[in-house]
């Protein structure tokens, strides 16, 4: 046991180190600027909440800051090396009046004032959340569009000219594509039966034909926009790293102890490692188990032994990669179950408890458990215990400290449990109907944080009291994934608003950090080693890794 004196010294040292780290983080606000200036327009004068991006010629790195209440922006000197930089802005409704660029020279500040003019192409600037705000229709009708944004923007729907009959065919065709598809790389599933029949989509087709250009030359509704960031939501530096090719889609992102960023590729057969200091990208090729099936991975997580586990989705296997050696090991599903319907997503990772890992398939909502020592697989069908009359689907699975499996049900919105010892299945309905539970995290006390995608909320489920507590997020967020940081704040990602959300659950105070481009973000990685806490996310549609650093 440490003495009281030693404990006091340790505490004092921790405080000093913490203050030093905080001072270092805040130094960005105080150090000389490499580029600074004011952003203004004739309509508004000096403009708050405009994202300004600096990109050095030939670099894969872009750095962005946001203007303050006086319309002022500044790039700290330590963020931009010498060179020629192009400047860009993001402010819905506006464009630069003329191209802007400047040279950065060591220990000198380049002053560049930016003038904005009304955009001539507002539709091209809208986020998916803004399109949903603009579209007429009921909540149920708009909810049908929440699946579309996985592969493409809602702008494509608005500009289309398909009538009802054409829409039924188009939706049916798209439902036959794997979730890993993108407009430049559609990937048909082997399981075409999952797409159903064109007539199944008449209701959705009738709605889409009312919001596109099938019968009119101009949309009969006004385009609505979200307000620009204000206050603390402008206090952040965003760094984007352009990684890979156009079909590479960073999905789940985790950091190792050395600061390397590991991520799954949603569009190609790679697990990738990126060093943000050296900018070196290493891609580890994965085995193509089913050459005619879609390729791409979704989940990535460390186990207690330091191995990274991943799924291969339509390839019918889960696997590990050793971060130290790059060695990859696979665990294919047995042939008797590994048919065309298989889409393995996620791995339950507390095999240190009983030597078993969990996974699940989208096609049938079956859950599988693998005994690592014997290689024996078991199959379960837990959605059979849910009330009849609905279409259920399990989105994520995750293990608690006893290796019990927890399941997020995406069709309606249930949280489920399979007891690791008794195999008893229990389901808990989300407080908000039709919540559509999506991604989960679990803490050291087995509390679960789950995103309620359609409900636009984050919920905490206490597995001991079996009670939910919900937190509403800003309109249009539709959170994909969320997690707590070391200070107790909730961070959430979204495929809809291009805004990283940070919320204080005690006060409800929320910051929304606007990204420089269409990020379609999926995962959340909160880096608690920095002060203030920083945030990493994959830009799924823009083949980029994104780091968000609040300045307070």
Within a domain: 218: no
3 state SS of 227? coil
Measured from the Cβ of residue 502, the count of other Cβ atoms closer than 10 Å reads: 25
Does 90 lie in the same domain as 131?
no
Q: How far is CA 68 from CA 48, 74, 518, in A?
A: 5, 10, 22
Per residue in 390-440, pLDDT (tens digit) is: 999 999 999 999 999 999 999 999 999 999 999 999 999 999 999 999 999
Residue 15 clears pLDDT 50, i.e. is over it: no
Per residue in 203-242, pLDDT (tens digit) is: 999 999 999 999 999 999 999 999 999 999 999 999 999 9
3 state SS of 225? coil
Range of the domain at 156: 124-211
Of 119, 142, 170, which residue constitutes the final position of a domain?
Answer: 119
Does 38 lie in the same domain as 26?
no
Does 420 lie in the same domain as 346?
yes
CATH number for the domain that contains residue 50: 2.60.40.1120
Average pLDDT value for residue range 195-207: 98
- Cβ-proximal residues to 262 (8 Å cutoff; 6+ apart), any chain: 253, 254, 255, 256, 271, 272, 273, 274, 300, 308, 323
Within a domain: 404: yes
Dist CA 545 CA 263 (whole Å)? 9
Question: What percent of the chain shows pLDDT beyond 90?
Answer: 92
Q: How far is CA 331 from CA 270, 395, 482, in A?
A: 17, 21, 29
- pLDDT category, 2, cuts 50, 70, 90? very low
Per residue in 115-157, pLDDT (tens digit) is: 999 999 999 999 999 999 999 999 999 999 999 999 999 999 9
Does 1 lie in the same domain as 12?
yes
Dist CA 366 CA 369 (whole Å)? 10
Average pLDDT value for residue range 45-67: 98
Of 180, 211, 242, which residue constitutes the final position of a domain?
Answer: 211
- Please count the structural domains in the chain: 4
- Answer whether 0.85 is exceeded by the pTM: yes
Within a domain: 325: yes
Within a domain: 283: yes
Please tell me the predicted confidence (pLDDT) of residue 519.
86
Does 236 lie in the same domain as 106?
no
Residue 99 clears pLDDT 70, i.e. is over it: yes
Within a domain: 224: no
Does 96 lie in the same domain as 170?
no
Q: How far is CA 459 from CA 114, 442, 449, 485, 535, in A?
A: 42, 12, 6, 15, 20
CB 271 within 8 A of CB 264: yes
DSSP track, 255-271: E-TT-PEEEEESSSSEE
Within a domain: 326: yes
Does 421 lie in the same domain as 309?
yes
Within a domain: 484: yes
CATH number for the domain that contains residue 316: 2.130.10.10
Residue 12 clears pLDDT 70, i.e. is over it: no
Which one has a higher pLDDT value, 28 or 388? 388
Does 316 lie in the same domain as 178?
no
**Helices 202-211 and 164-175 sit at what angle, rounded to 10 degrees?**
120
- Cβ-proximal residues to 501 (8 Å cutoff; 6+ apart), any chain: 473, 474, 477, 479, 490, 491, 492, 493, 494, 510, 511, 512
Tell me which DSSP letter residue 229 carries: P
Please tell me the predicted confidence (pLDDT) of residue 249.
95
Does 144 lie in the same domain as 25?
no
Does 156 lie in the same domain as 93?
no
- Cβ-proximal residues to 68 (8 Å cutoff; 6+ apart), any chain: 48, 234
Does 417 lie in the same domain as 287?
yes
Please provide the average confidence, as pLDDT, over all residues in the chain: 94
Of 198, 160, 157, the C-alpha closest to 176 is: 198
Within a domain: 221: no
Question: What percent of the chain shows pLDDT beyond 70?
Answer: 95
Please tell me the predicted confidence (pLDDT) of residue 28.
62
- Following CA atoms 77, 544, 253, 274 in sequence, which dihedral angle do they give, to the nearest 10 degrees? -70
Residue 303 clears pLDDT 70, i.e. is over it: yes
Q: In what order do the strands lie in the sheet with 344-348?
A: 344-348, 356-361, 367-371, 377-380
Residue 331 clears pLDDT 90, i.e. is over it: yes
DSSP track, 288-328: -SSTTS------EEE-TTSPEEEE-BTT-EEEEE-TTT--E
Tell me which DSSP letter residue 385 carries: G
Does 249 lie in the same domain as 193?
no
Residue 10 clears pLDDT 70, i.e. is over it: no
Dist CA 225 CA 209 (whole Å)? 22
């Amino acid at each position: 046991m440490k003495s009281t004196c030693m404990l006091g010294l340790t505490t004092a040292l921790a405080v000093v180190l913490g203050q030093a780290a905080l001072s270092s983080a805040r130094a960005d606000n105080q150090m000389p600027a490499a580029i600074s200036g004011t952003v203004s327009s004739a309509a508004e004068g000096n403009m708050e909440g405009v994202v300004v991006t600096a990109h050095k010629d030939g670099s894969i790195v872009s750095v962005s800051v946001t203007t303050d209440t006086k319309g002022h922006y500044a790039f700290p000197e330590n963020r931009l090396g010498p060179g020629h930089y192009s400047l860009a802005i993001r402010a819905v409704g506006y464009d630069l009046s003329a191209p802007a660029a400047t040279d950065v020279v060591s220990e000198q500040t380049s002053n560049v004032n930016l003038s904005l003019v009304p955009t001539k192409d507002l539709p091209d600037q809208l986020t998916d959340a803004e399109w949903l705000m603009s579209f007429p229709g009921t909540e149920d009708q708009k909810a049908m569009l929440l699946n579309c944004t996985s592969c493409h923007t809602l702008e494509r729907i608005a500009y289309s000219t398909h009538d009802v009959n054409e829409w039924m065919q188009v939706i049916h065709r798209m439902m036959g594509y794997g979730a890993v598809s993108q407009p430049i790389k559609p990937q048909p599933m082997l399981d075409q039966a999952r797409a159903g029949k064109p007539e199944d989509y008449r209701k959705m087709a009738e709605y889409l034909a009312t919001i596109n250009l099938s019968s009119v030359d101009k949309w009969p509704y006004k385009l609505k926009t979200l307000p620009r960031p204000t206050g603390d939501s402008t206090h952040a530096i965003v760094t984007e790293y352009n990684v890979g090719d156009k079909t590479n889609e960073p999905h789940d992102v985790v950091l190792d102890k050395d600061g390397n960023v590991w991520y799954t590729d949603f569009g190609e057969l790679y697990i990738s490692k990126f060093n943000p200091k050296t900018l070196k990208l290493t891609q580890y090729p994965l085995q193509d188990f089913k050459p005619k099936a879609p390729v791409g991975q979704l989940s990535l997580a460390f186990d207690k032994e330091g191995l990274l586990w991943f799924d291969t989705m339509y390839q019918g296997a889960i696997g590990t990669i050793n971060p130290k050696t790059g060695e990859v090991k696979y665990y294919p599903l047995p042939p008797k179950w590994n048919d065309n319907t298989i889409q393995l997503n996620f791995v339950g990772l507390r095999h240190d408890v009983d030597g078993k890992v969990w996974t699940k398939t989208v096609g049938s909502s079956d859950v599988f458990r693998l005994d690592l020592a014997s290689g024996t697989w078991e199959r379960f069908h837990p959605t059979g215990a849910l009330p009849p009359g609905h279409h259920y689907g399990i989105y994520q699975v995750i293990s608690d400290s006893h290796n019990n499996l927890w399941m997020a049900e995406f069709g309606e919105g249930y949280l489920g449990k399979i007891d690791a010892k008794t195999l008893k299945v229990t389901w808990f309905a989300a407080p908000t109907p039709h919540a559509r539970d999506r991604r989960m995290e679990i803490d050291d006390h087995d509390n679960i944080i789950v995103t309620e995608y359609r409900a636009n909320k984050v919920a905490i489920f206490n597995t001991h009291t079996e009670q939910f507590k919900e937190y509403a997020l800003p309109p249009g967020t539709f959170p994909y994934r969320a997690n707590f940081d070391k200070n107790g704040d909730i961070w959430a990602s979204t495929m809809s608003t291009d805004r990283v959300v940070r919320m204080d659950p005690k006060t409800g105070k929320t910051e929304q950090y606007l990204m420089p481009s269409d990020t379609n973000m999926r995962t959340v990685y909160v880096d608690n080693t920095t002060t203030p806490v920083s945030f990493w996310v994959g830009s799924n549609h823009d083949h980029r890794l994104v780091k968000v650093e609040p300045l307070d």
